[in-house]
Amino acid sequence: MQRENTKAQGLIRLLTQDLLTHAEQKTACELGDRSQYIGMSDIGKGMECLRAAVASKLGMSATPAATAVDGFALDDVAHVLARQIILQRGHWQEYGIEKALAATGVKLVPQLEISIEHSGVPIKAHLDFTLVWGGQRPAVRILELKSNERIPDSLYASYEAQLYGQVGLLKSCWTEPCFSAPGTGLQSVTFPQIIQGLFGVALPEFPDDVDIEAWVLSISMAEVRPFGPYLPDKAMLEICLQTAVGIWRTAEDVRSGNLGLNDLDYCWGFHPLCDWCDVNADCPKFQAVSIPSDSACGLELEELAMLKDQKAALEGRIAEAEERIRQTFHLVGGQDWILTGNYRFRVTTVAGRRTLDRSLVADILTSLIGDELKAQTALEQCEKYSKPIERLYVNSINLPSKFVA
Ligand code: SF4
């Protein structure tokens, strides 16, 4: 038994090292040296938290080098492995989706690169998928894949910024030699040239004659939901470019010692970015009174984290079981209750949740009253606030000093 445990642990360690090595190679191969330019994901991050975006430009990372894993305790290896699986599963989905799209013969460019310089700052966009149609009604669709545990109700602002940056650059650089398709030999050409070279399709010389949209495909293990369309928008592109310049200049200031990382603005309040942030360990947002990790409270937090993991796993199993039972009901052509042992079950349709579309109400009120300000004031007067409630925030700390070799 002891020998088998050791073998299993060796396998986990090997898989962790392989995933880390693969991530390093894939980033170097597809994205190059990320410290040398501002990417769209940097811009998205920078719009939410400047401190996090600048730290990642400075190469501050909580991800260990693959070679460092040999010296880790098993718990730390498991922690790194879990994080890598979540971070890398999007790439696996991307591979499958690319094969599926290609199977229908659609004209598809994976990882199209747009490279520009703005106010002296190198900026690059890497588009997951660019789909093209020529002919009488030429069209381009950008698809950005996002892997999510659960499909969100609305898109995060950082994702939207990425999309506006991508679609804005595609249109504004259309006639410029800014486009490259990796692995094809087509580099630093215009967008119509790249499409002509790859597919023999002639696109209009200017983008105004082309139907251009960008979409996000949010993918969980059981669901896909498109968000969009995002259209080229000059004002949004300008905001993205200004954000890129801000991140670049601020990173230079921190590098030269004119600013400290903790002098920078950071996002306030509860934010999902913080759990995944590489520099959350010493973020001023969480300036805290420290208590020993083996105190009762420290142990309680450990247990809470474990219970939450168990709850998430249980919720997943419950959802799967419910889906199987629902399918069984339909397969047996169930109309009414079905009895089995001590249980009976049925599937019915219930009315959807009723909600009020606030912006629609504001629009209708404005058109009725004829005054937007009065409509907003009327809406605010009708709002009710419930009593404040206490909310517990627990944040896992990513430890760069522990993991970086
Ligand atoms: S922990 Fe949160 S607030 Fe602090 S830098 Fe990271 S993302 Fe920003």
**Helix orientation angle between 157-172 and 40-48, rounded to the nearest 10 degrees:** 140
Strand spans (E) along 292-369: 338-340, 343-345
**What pairs with residue 108 in β-bridges?**
131
Distance 388 CA to ligand 1 centre (A): 25
Secondary structure element (H or E) that encloses residue 349, with its range: none
- 392 pLDDT above the threshold of 80: no
Mean pLDDT of 273-287: 86
d(CA 125, CA 111): 9
Query: Do residues 38 and 122 touch, judged by C-beta distance below 8 A?
Result: yes
Question: Which residues are CB-contacts of 181 (< 8 A; sequence separation ≥ 6)?
Answer: 109, 111, 112, 113, 194, 198
pLDDT at residue 403, rounded to an integer: 43
pLDDT at residue 396, rounded to an integer: 76
Share of the chain above pLDDT 70, in %: 97
- 402 pLDDT above the threshold of 50: no
Give 47: exposed, middle or buried? Use CB within 10 Å, 0-12, 13-18, 19+. buried
pLDDT at residue 354, rounded to an integer: 84
Sign of the dihedral through C-alpha 325, 327, 328, 333: positive
Q: Nearest to residue 84, comparing CAs of 8, 10, 19?
A: 19
Query: Do residues 144 and 44 touch, judged by C-beta distance below 8 A?
Result: no
Distance 50 CA to ligand 1 centre (A): 9
Among protein residues, the one whose CA lies closest to atom 4 of ligand 1: 283
Tokens in use for 71? 């010296």
Mean pLDDT of 365-393: 86
As a whole number of Å, the CA-based R_g of the chain is: 25
pLDDT tens string 16-41: 999 999 888 888 888 878 888 999 99
- 2 pLDDT above the threshold of 70: no
Give 12: exposed, middle or buried? Use CB within 10 Å, 0-12, 13-18, 19+. middle
Q: Which residue has the higher pLDDT, 370 or 402?
A: 370
pLDDT at residue 243, rounded to an integer: 96
Pocket test for ligand 1, best of 267, 394, 397 (most atoms within 8 A of CB): 267
Q: Taking the model in full, what pTM does it have?
A: 0.74
pLDDT at residue 4, rounded to an integer: 67
pLDDT tens string 234-249: 999 999 999 999 999 9
How far is C-alpha 334 from the geometric centre of its chain's CA atoms? 40
pLDDT tens string 150-198: 888 888 888 899 999 999 999 999 999 999 998 898 999 999 999 999 9
Domain boundaries of the chain, sorted by first residue: 2-86+245-282, 100-242, 296-344
Tokens in use for 6? 């050791």
Mean pLDDT of 264-277: 84
pLDDT at residue 167, rounded to an integer: 96
Q: Which residue has the higher pLDDT, 193 or 147?
A: 193
Q: Nearest to residue 232, comparing CAs of 210, 202, 261?
A: 210
d(CA 62, CA 142): 31
Distance 267 CA to ligand 1 centre (A): 6
pLDDT at residue 1, rounded to an integer: 59
Measured at the CA of 74, the angle between CA 73 and CA 75, to 5 degrees, comes to 95
Query: Do residues 98 and 90 touch, judged by C-beta distance below 8 A?
Result: no
Query: Do residues 124 and 39 touch, judged by C-beta distance below 8 A?
Result: yes
Question: Which residues are CB-contacts of 315 (< 8 A; sequence separation ≥ 6)?
Answer: none
Amino acid at 255: R
Distance 3 CA to ligand 1 centre (A): 43
Distance 25 CA to ligand 1 centre (A): 27
Among protein residues, the one whose CA lies closest to atom 2 of ligand 1: 274
pLDDT tens string 286-296: 877 777 777 88
d(CA 183, CA 232): 27
Query: Do residues 126 and 39 touch, judged by C-beta distance below 8 A?
Result: yes
pLDDT tens string 202-223: 999 999 989 999 999 999 888 8
pLDDT tens string 339-356: 888 889 999 888 888 888
pLDDT tens string 62-121: 788 888 888 888 888 888 898 888 888 888 888 898 999 889 889 999 999 999 999 999
Question: Which residues are CB-contacts of 123 (< 8 A; sequence separation ≥ 6)?
Answer: 37, 38, 39, 115, 116, 117, 169, 241, 244
Pairing of strands 224-230, 211-219: antiparallel
Ligand 1 pocket residues where CB is under 6 Å: 49, 51-52, 266-267, 271, 273-274, 277, 279-280, 283, 285
Pocket test for ligand 1, best of 273, 276, 399 (most atoms within 8 A of CB): 273
Tokens in use for 347? 């599937």
